[in-house]
Amino acid sequence: MVANFLKNAEIRKKLAITAILIVVFRLVAHVPVPGIDLNAIRSYIQGNAFFGLLDLFSGGGFQNFSIATLGLAPYINVSIAMQLLTMMIPSLEELQKEGEYGREKINMYTKLLTVPMSMIQGYGIYFWLNRQGVIRTLSPLDLIIFVLTLTAGAILLVWLGELISEYGIGNGISLLIFVGIISQLPAGITGYLASVTSYNFGNTLLFVALSLAVIVAVVLINEGTRNVSIEYGRSGVRSEKISNFLPIKVNQAGVIPIIFAVSLVLIPSMISGPLQTSSNGLAQKAGYFLAQNFNANSVGYNVLYFLLVVGFTYFYTSVQFNSEKVADDIKKRGGFIPGIRPGKSTADFLKAIVNRITFTGALFLGVIAILPYLVQKYIGVSNLSIGGTGLLIVVSVVLETVRQMESLMVTRNYDSFLR
């Protein structure tokens, strides 16, 4: 398959452009913000789940405290918010229906809103790290430069992602996240192999087998669909029926519920630090309680994380898949589901199917989210370089990129046939 892809001159050109832009991304992730103690930053990240996740999405940019420290997190947050607003605000929904023009307008709004979001997150990082004594107090001018530098880095990454989408292969934003995740593999594998001894060799084999099983499960769930049979009646000299299928994905929400959930489940651990340094005795006790019971290695944290992921999966799927709207579209096109009345009965039937298969997808995402905790508790592997969330993103991006390359090959063969 790879050899066939490389025979295509257009694919080779797109791959070369993609590779160059990825190299630029990796260089940007190693350009540090001046005046910051990197050793203090790195030691603090190792014990903080939130900034560890931020470092994962920035490809090590946070660990190096580079201009890419914010990574693509501001753009992702705004994109998710815009996607939800598009489904809830009629004017944005109508704009989305206008085809390419509407999508470009929404994308422009997303980029514009990424700027203030980056500023807010940049200042939030400074405020948090300053309260923890990791970053010294900056003067107003230095603080403005600090925030603008992080904002410029976030916008630069968005621009690189857009260039990859337009001139390269795959979705640029997803591909940069993919590269950021796998860039941590070599160090993680090296550290893990160094810790392997004859006493835990059996656990290592079990961990490898589990990793392969998880990859297979991610592919199956990510690609799994429930095909609902639909028939369209044709009237004329000779009436006939045309059969088709409505594919409903098992995992319609993707990784978005995990991003939603992690932003909430990390709040207790984030506020525990300032509470512990408070002069109020009650606040200090609350801070110690949150630190002990809501850290990444605690049962309470992971149970809450699991429940939030399952809940957000149902919420996002219900927003993403409007059964009444789908049933109405089927009815307008003269279609029907065999044995089901058009209209409300069809909507109820589709809603019941979505609820059933979403249960499987929600449980899967919940397990994927807490996979590092389960692996550490039952297998003893604590230095995972890629957790379940990262693995889900990696597999999804690989499948999407391969599909796009196959589509280019089909287009090339079709054009050759026409000539």
DSSP letters along 187-245, please? HHHHHHHHH--TTSHHHHHHHHHHHHHHHHHHHHHHH-EEEEEEEEEE-SSS-EEEEEE
Domain locations in the chain? 1-184, 195-385
Over residues 24-49, the mean pLDDT reads 76
Give the contacts of 57 (CB within 8 A, at least 6 positions apart).
71, 72, 73, 76, 177, 180, 181
Highest mean pLDDT: which range of 48-62, 292-306, 350-364 = 350-364
* pLDDT confidence band for 82 (50 / 70 / 90): confident
The DSSP line for 313-354 is HHHHHHHH--HHHHHHHHHHTTEE-TTS-TTHHHHHHHHHHH
Give the model's pLDDT for residue 201.
62
Residue 370 confidence class, pLDDT cut points 50, 70, 90: confident
User: Per DSSP, what are the bridge partners of residue 392?
Assistant: none
∠ CA 15-187-269, nearest 5°, is 105
Average pLDDT over residues 207-212: 77
Which is more confident, 201 or 159? 159
Q: How many CB atoms lie within 10 A of CB 68?
A: 29
Mean pLDDT of 256-281: 74
pLDDT at residue 417, as a whole number: 47
Provide the pLDDT for residue 237. Answer: 45
Please tell me the predicted confidence (pLDDT) of residue 132: 73
d(CA 247, CA 230): 10
Are 122 and 70 a contacting pair, CB within 8 Å? Answer: yes
Q: What pLDDT, on a 0 to 100 scale, did the predictor assign at position 30?
A: 84
Name the more confident of 279 and 356.
356
pLDDT at site 339: 83
How many CA atoms lie less than 13 Å away from 65 in the CB half-sphere?
21
According to the model, what pLDDT value does residue 387 have?
62
* Cα 406 from Cα 49, distance rounded (Å): 38
pLDDT bin (cut points 50, 70, 90) of residue 114 is very high
In degrees rounded to 5, what are phi and psi of residue 236?
A: 165, -155
Does pLDDT of 385 surpass 90? no
Task: Quote the distance between the C-alpha of residue 126 and its chain's center.
Answer: 24
- The residue that leads in pLDDT, 273 or 341, is 341
Tell me what percent of the residues of the chain surpass a pLDDT of 70: 80
Averaged pLDDT for residues 305-332: 85
User: Do the domains 1-184 and 195-385 sit in the same CATH topology, yes or no?
Assistant: yes
Tokens of 110: 């997303």
Q: Indicate the pLDDT class of residue 196, thresholds 50, 70 and 90.
A: low
Amino acid at 163: L
pLDDT band per the 50, 70, 90 thresholds, residue 116: very high
Instruction: Please state, rounded to an integer, the average pLDDT across all residues of the chain.
Output: 79
Average confidence (pLDDT) over 27-44: 79
The bridge status of strand 225-234 relative to strand 335-336 is antiparallel
Q: Is 339 left (phi over 0), alpha (psi -120 to 50) or beta?
A: left
- End-to-end CA distance of the chain: give it in Å, rounded: 24
Domain 195-385 - what CATH class?
Answer: mainly alpha
DSSP 10: H
Which amino acid, residue 348?
D
Q: What is the pLDDT of residue 112?
A: 92
Paired residues of 244 in beta bridges: 230
Residue 159, pLDDT above cutoff 90: yes
Span 90-112, pLDDT tens digits: 888 788 777 778 888 888 899 99
What single letter denotes the amino acid at residue 81?
A
348 is written with which tokens? 């109820």
User: Taking the CB of residue 204, how many other CB atoms lie within 10 A of it?
Assistant: 17
Cβ(221)–Cβ(396) below 8 Å? no
Can you tell me the distance from the alpha carbon of 99 to that of 116, in angstroms, rounded to the nearest whole number? 27
- The two tokens of residue 289 are 């309680």
CA distance 32 to 36: 8
- Other CB atoms within 10 A of residue 9 CB: 9
Whole-number Å distance between alpha carbons of 112 and 120: 14
Q: Which CATH number fits domain 1-184: 3.40.190.10, 3.40.50.150, 1.10.3370.10, 3.40.50.2300?
A: 1.10.3370.10
More confident residue, 114 or 134: 114
Give whole-number Cα distances, 46 to 41, 42, 52, 165, 390, in Å: 9, 7, 7, 33, 17
CB 278 within 8 A of CB 131: no
Helix axes 371-378 and 344-369, enclosed angle (nearest 10): 40
